[in-house]
Structure 1
Amino acid sequence: MLRMAAKGKDSWKIAAPGVSPVLTGSLNAFLSGYWDKAPTAGRAMEFLESQQKGALYFDHFAFRTFGVDGCGIDSMAGALLDFGYVRRDNLKFEKKKLNAFWFAPPSPELPRIFVSELEVGSFPEEAQKIIRRYTSAAASTATQHFLSGSLGILPWPTPTKEDFRALAEVSEYAAWTLVNGYGLNHTTISVHNLSEMSEIDGLVQALRREGFALNEAGGVVKTSPDGGLRQASTVADEVDFEFLGGVVDRVSGPYIEFAQRHVLPEYAHLEPDQVEERHRRDGFEQGNADKIFESTQIGGVR
């Protein structure tokens, strides 16, 4: 399964001939807003392109949601399922109080989609009240939240800085979601499809030489117990956000991830030119994802 990212900042888009133009158009609309908010991701793409022979490929896109008032995973799932995505494994993150599913694409040219939700009912009453103040206002349009993300607009009223700070005290994830809504949390580049630096350890060394700040939570490279999935990510960019009342401050925005999927043992006999994405380790790993979440911790893992 390959997800093409065409060359050039203005054309870093998914190219998927034969796929619904509404779906590819929507995903590319998400990307348009993402590149504007993630200059580090753009620099990473430029660096990879300078080393790459041929196209770059997306492994997956990730989104964050509030699991209350219809604003959780299902508010994204409806559109994804309509487009032919298939809901796959459920992942639980007890300490972070998160729940997640990933969705397999209807075509090999499209990225996997990882959608998580905050288990709002697990938080102190005051934090719940703040979150519900916004999600309740967006509940009637929950089925359109995929659209709100592609348009780059929040589905709820503009937050106050006080509410943002209060949520940040109890959950960085909640604070991030309040100000970023359904915008892309991160994109992920497929490392094993790079023509150069197709091993993640070498890629990490190269990124460090180029001055990229990487998420060090749990180690720079996060490896699944079976060794089949290895991931690394940059630290999220900080972006300006205008709170209610016109107060502007810096908040955590998106970041970029890099994922290497090894060939499954039963296909180890295949020659390199015979290996397809279906022969590689699929899905996600709870332990890896738990640490990748911390890429948006402002000052936490720098």
Structure 2
Amino acid sequence: MSQKVNDFFEKLWANYLEITPSAQKIHSVLGSGKDIINDHVAFRTFNLPNINLGILAAFFEEMGYQEKGQYTFDAKKLKAKHFEHPNKRLPKVFISELCLEQCSDKLNGIVKTLVSQMDSNVICDSSFLYSGTHWKVSYQDYLDLLNESEYAAWLAAFGFRANHFTVSVNDLEDYSTLAEVNGVLKENQFLLNTSGGEIKGSPEVMLEQSATLADMHEMVFSDQEKKIPGCFYEFAYRYPQKCGELYQGFVAASADKIFESTHSR
């Protein structure tokens, strides 16, 4: 099982690098050639019966992951869960879904037209989680979705893939704080998400997070090509709980701002 899980994450990582070349450069900067431990990987989806959060989660549960937390993001109309593996060296998994019943008829019409183009046979194994889009989307539809929900627009353009990976700052040999990591990233000309501050969270909530702004990616829409924000890289520093073990959950107020790493700029 462990080899199967490792193979999955290797393929997921390779797929992510196709959209996020800056992540490889950040590895070189922060890791100096050493392995970097991933804190968590995040995925986006719509709450439609054939592709909802539960469908995506089932692939991870098959790999031994267990549900550990639930989160709600009212302003963004999202729900999310996070999952952990008994092998703590494997990354946590954070899956969110857009609650379509809270969205406009226009958004629902576009999304359901896109998803209707999917062949149900593509959702047969974990490779679906890095399979990208299964539909044709126009730039105008992307803009219409963007007008209401950046989350929906990103998902329409990029489909099923890791939205971001996350460096475990606790496991970096050469850094002891997230502020140090951010400083080195800025020295190397990486742009950070400043929504809610460069560092989201605090020792009081036992989790600090920061993120790059998403790499710009040349997207081939059905009617034209445009550069749009793709995937990004996150950084997490976790504090010990009273029991001495590091806090493993997520903080909704911070995650809400991390979502904005893919906003247009």
TM class by smaller structure: over 0.9
Q: Deviations over 1:185-205 (max 9, x none)?
A: 000000011111221111112
Q: 1:161 aligns with which of 139, 161, 167?
A: 139
Matched, 1:22 2:1: no
Return the match for 1:292 from 248, 258, 262.
258
Deviation at 1:239, TM superposition (A): 0.5
Opposite residue 176 of structure 1, the aligned amino acid is: W
Q: Per the alignment, do residues 24 and 114 of structure 1 end up closer, same or farther by CA in structure 2, a change over 3 Å counting? A: same
**What's the CA shift string for 1:96-154, capped at 9, x where partnerless?**
0000001111322211000000111111101110001122333734743742333x332
Q: How many residues align?
A: 265
State the distance in 2 between where 1:211 and 1:201 align. 15
Q: Which residue of 1 aligns with 2:65?
A: 85
In structure 2, C-alpha distance between the alignment counterparts of 1:78 and 1:227, rounded to whole Å: 29
Q: Aligned residue for 2:246?
A: 280
Q: Of the candidates 13, 38, 57, which is equivalent to residue 31 of structure 1?
A: 13
* Residue 188 (str. 1) matches residue 176 (str. 2): no
CA distance in 1, matches of 2:118, 2:125: 9
Conserved 8 A contact 2:77-2:98: yes
**What does the per-residue CA deviation read over 1:167-209, in whole Å, with 9 as the maximum and x for residues that have no partner?**
0111110000011111110000000111112211111122112
Partner of 2:78: 98
Where in structure 2 are there 5+ consecutive unaligned residues? none
Structure 2: how far apart are the matches of 1:182 and 1:143? 11
Aligned residues: CA RMSD: 1.8
- Which whole-Å CA distance do the structure 2 matches of 1:40 and 1:139 have between them? 32
Decide which of 144, 166, 174 is 2:124's aligned counterpart: 144
Q: Aligned equivalents of 2:36 and 2:2: distance in 1?
A: 21
**When the two structures are superposed, what TM-score results if normalisation uses the length of structure 2?**
0.94
Q: Which residue of 2 aligns with 1:208?
A: 186
Residue identity over aligned pairs, in percent, reads 29
Unpaired runs of at least 5, structure 1: 1-18, 268-278
C-alpha separation in 2, matches of 1:211 and 1:75 = 39
Q: For each residue in 1:219-271, what CA deviation from the matched residue of structure 2 results, as whole angstroms up to 9, or x when unmatched?
A: 000115733100000000110111124x211121110000001122332xxxx
Q: What one-letter code is carried by the residue in structure 1 that aligns with 2:24?
A: G
Of 91, 114, 125, the match for 2:94:
114
Name which one, 1 or 2, has greater alpha-carbon Rg: 1
Does the C-alpha gap of structure 1 residues 233 and 40 become closer, same or farther in structure 2, counting only changes over 3 Å?
same
Question: What TM-score, normalized to structure 1?
Answer: 0.83
Which of these residues, 90, 106, 116, is aligned with residue 126 of structure 1? 106
Identify the residue that residue 10 of structure 1 maps to in structure 2.
none
Q: Which of 17, 24, 33 matches 1:42?
A: 24
Distance in structure 1 (CA, Å) of the matches to 2:264 and 2:4: 35
SS of the residue corresponding to residue 220 of structure 1 reads coil
**Alignment-derived partner of residue 57 in structure 1:** 37
**Pair 91,224 (structure 1): closer, same or farther in 2 beyond 3 Å:** farther
